[in-house]
Structure formats: C-alpha cells, structure tokens
Amino acid sequence: MADAIISARDVIKSFGDFRALDAVSLDVARGERVVVCGPSGSGKSTLIRCINRLERHEAGTIAVNGVPVDDSRRSREARRGTVGMVFQQFNLFPHLTVLDNLTLGPMRALRKPEDEAREIAMRYLARVRIPEQADKYPRQLSGGQQQRVAIARSLCMEPEIMLFDEPTSALDPEMIGEVLAVMTELARTGMTMIVVTHEMGFARGVADTMVFMDRGRIVETAPPARFFAAPETERCRDFLQKILHH
C-alpha cells in the first residue's frame, strides 16, 4: 500500500515455544482506524507492542512512516514523535499531579519549555473533557478519568498514530462509555488509530477496517459492515456470535 503509515510483513514473534505472531502482515493507511479483535491469546496486543517496539519481533519487517522498526537510534527517534500508546493499566505516576504527568514527556523527550508544555497539557485535558482535574493526583480520580488522563498524556507528544491496547478492560462498566466517547471524538479528527478491543459497538461506529486474529494469525480483514453482517470464516462467525450475544 503506497500511503501506508504502518506496514508489517510476515512478522513472527515467539515467547518460548508459544508463537504469538505467526507470519502476520498488515498495512494501515494514514488516517485509517483499525480495530483488532479476537480471542484471548490470539496475538492482538503482541502485534501493537511490536509496532511500538515494546516487544522485539524475530522475523519479518515492520515499518512506521517508512522507517524500519528496530533498535537503531533513527528508528527510536522516528517512533518517539510518531507513535503514542494507551494501555489497559493507566501507568500514571502516582506522586505527580495530572498536569505534571502530562508535561513530563514534552519537556523531557521533546525539550519543550515548561510554559509551552503546560499549554499543550491543558489543551489535551480539555479535549478529554477533564481540564478541572489538572491539579489532582491520580488516586483522586475515577478509573475512567485516569484512563482519559493517560490518553491525554499520549496526545501531548502530538503523535501521528495512536495505539490502544484494550483501553477499557480494566474499567468498571459505567466508566467504559466516557473513555470510548473520547476515543470516538479522537477518531473523528483523522488520527491514525489501531485499537485492540472487545467493544463491538465502538468498532462498528468508528472502524474503517476490522481485523480478526486467532492463534497468532490474521484470519479475516473487512470493513465493519461486511465483517459484522457476513463474516467469511467459521472461526470469525463463532467468535462474533459469542461476543455479540453474551
């Protein structure tokens, strides 16, 4: 794909004898929203962790913005300004205020002056609808608010791509909606997104492309309308039946 901002080819990743990714290939276009779903242990999180080099793939190639994902300094610097990631756990520094959690990256990694970093932080706190929480500590916030702070923290690095690794799975049910609303809004801005999630309502409304994984392989890729109405494989039909009717 000529305009692919992420390109993975025949990627293999193992943990001991367990093959987490088995010759996975995926292209993501600039501005595309991709939702990756599949059963537990199917390789979804490993795939996005390899894209961000949190895991090292042992074969195949991954490129972000045309730069190979490897341990070189050029690769690290290219990813730093391009890829943001939000995890299941919020990973906020408990001893820092919300505002300090958000300004740390821009000041340390991007060398922004403090006043500019604070301005950026407040802009993104407003975008995730919690500017009034700036001076609080993470423990004073609900889980949903902490996850929105985590999203804002990633956005403060002004990435071109956002990776989400099951961002609502650690939340109480009533807090899931507020995080998905922020993500839906972000998708509307044209941000390139890969979202690993079981939230199929969100996927239906936001995704350009659905990717279904099983046993370390991509089994099916389709636009949401076709994916949900007429999945091609028995394995995908079985998965959707369970997840949509449980």
Over residues 161-180, the pLDDT tens digits come to: 999 999 999 999 889 999 99
Proportion of the chain above pLDDT 90, given as a percent? 93
Is 148 a residue whose pLDDT tops 80? yes
DSSP state of 82: T
Q: pTM for the complete prediction?
A: 0.95
CA distance linking residue 145 with residue 141, whole number of Å: 6
- What pLDDT does residue 34 have? 98
Is 245 a residue whose pLDDT tops 80? no
CA distance linking residue 20 with residue 48, whole number of Å: 12
Is 2 a residue whose pLDDT tops 70? no
Q: Which two tokens stand for residue 61?
A: 């190639």
Q: Which two tokens stand for residue 15?
A: 């943990």
How many of the other CB atoms lie within 10 Å of CB of 62? 22
Cα-flanking dihedrals φ and ψ of residue 33, to 5°? -110, 115
Report strand pairing: 209-214 vs 192-196: unpaired
CA distance linking residue 165 with residue 187, whole number of Å: 15
Residue 246 binned pLDDT confidence (cut-offs 50, 70, 90): low
CA angle at 7 for the pair 211 and 151, rounded to the nearest 5°: 65
Residue 3 binned pLDDT confidence (cut-offs 50, 70, 90): confident
Query: Counting Cβ atoms within 10 Å, is residue 56 exposed (0-12), middle (13-18) or buried (19+)?
Result: exposed
Is 1 a residue whose pLDDT tops 70? no
- What pLDDT does residue 111 have? 93
Average per-residue pLDDT in the chain? 95
Report strand pairing: 161-165 vs 192-196: parallel
CB 13 within 8 A of CB 36: no
Is 113 a residue whose pLDDT tops 70? yes
Residue 80 binned pLDDT confidence (cut-offs 50, 70, 90): confident
- What pLDDT does residue 78 have? 87
